[in-house]
Structure 1
């Protein structure tokens, strides 16, 4: 079985981001970049399936600037077999990314596609669902458990009311949630081996996909500063402030 795992290059989750002086975008100069944490969970799940003897090949793909190859190499150090890089400097909307991934899937014919449920920069939570619609494949989002049983996959997914279990025929698309697994750290020997694994660089045009501008960023601003809290001496004082100052009760 072949698994396709799309990954995204984002600012490291532990880094505090800044906004450009002209409020046009986030300032990424000299910031540490990393694989999107949800994508890393998807890579880990694919590697575990391979270790269990279910998966034979893991292909990671990313869409972004040349520097995004660093994240592909990281994914290969974690256990992926080869990488595909669609090189572009444009900031693409989820629909455009889904169209490019659909073109990659048409070439790769993977039996399972594992994606992070969302990226920590855009937080759109759209790409996996759009890809499933374009590819005509069954989907299970917010997966907290994945079991492959022959030609089917059983997915436990997190919903507002608790847990839901779905059984789908392969090929299928799954988006991963936080509780699915805990990603491993790449070991130095595997990092060295990843440098020799195949990495194919292609262009948007080579995939035969026509992209359109779906959205325009008008302005980027940091969140408003929160006001300092107030200490109260008693429940009565708290109720009085909620009633007369905050006016929430």
Structure 2
């Protein structure tokens, strides 16, 4: 039987994955720092601890075939709030996976790893990463780990740059970045089953206003079912302020917070390609 580990299983995204992704014949090991509410119909193993403890990470990956890494601090904040969980914990997990012979690691990255690109730019996934926050930088670090351990240690890496995971889009920005629970679950399932070495895909639904092309995901078999545009009429009149980085940069509020850059120059530079 195939054993699948998911970290961060008690979080909002983790709970949806546990509810939607498992298949018959798989053994799921769910991990978190706090008690995890059981998922109806899923007979899972539970392990509790901190990934910053390498010995715990090593035991967590023992006997595991695939890892879904969703643990970490999901919010912007001071470096002290981010480094232990998002950097040290991630590094420990990949090293533990490699030492245990894990086949693949799926990584819950973020659109904030590219949030400084203007909303006028269509991304195809090959662009240099441009984080919009300290949190975004930690996601860039995780993506680098996925690349390193795929190339050097043969641990397949599947990076999902998760967009706005909400029941429905709540803003103009989220009409571009939204991902539904079932579409994200489909991407996770794809990462578990597809044949690849290292891939980075966008965790978004089939949004008409998407800023991201998702050709690599489509080539692997991703077929999103939902579109944020179906909710556009519920949001009322929408407009962008061309002088506000929150409106003009893909990272939205994360890009705009503490922004002291030259927005006009930034937009002109990217308009030139």
TM-score (norm 2): 0.34
Q: Normalized per residue, which structure has more strand? A: 1
Higher RCO, 1 vs 2 (CA within 8 Å, ≥6 residues apart): 1
Q: Normalized per residue, which structure has more helix? A: 2
Between structure 1 and structure 2, the one with the greater Rg is 1
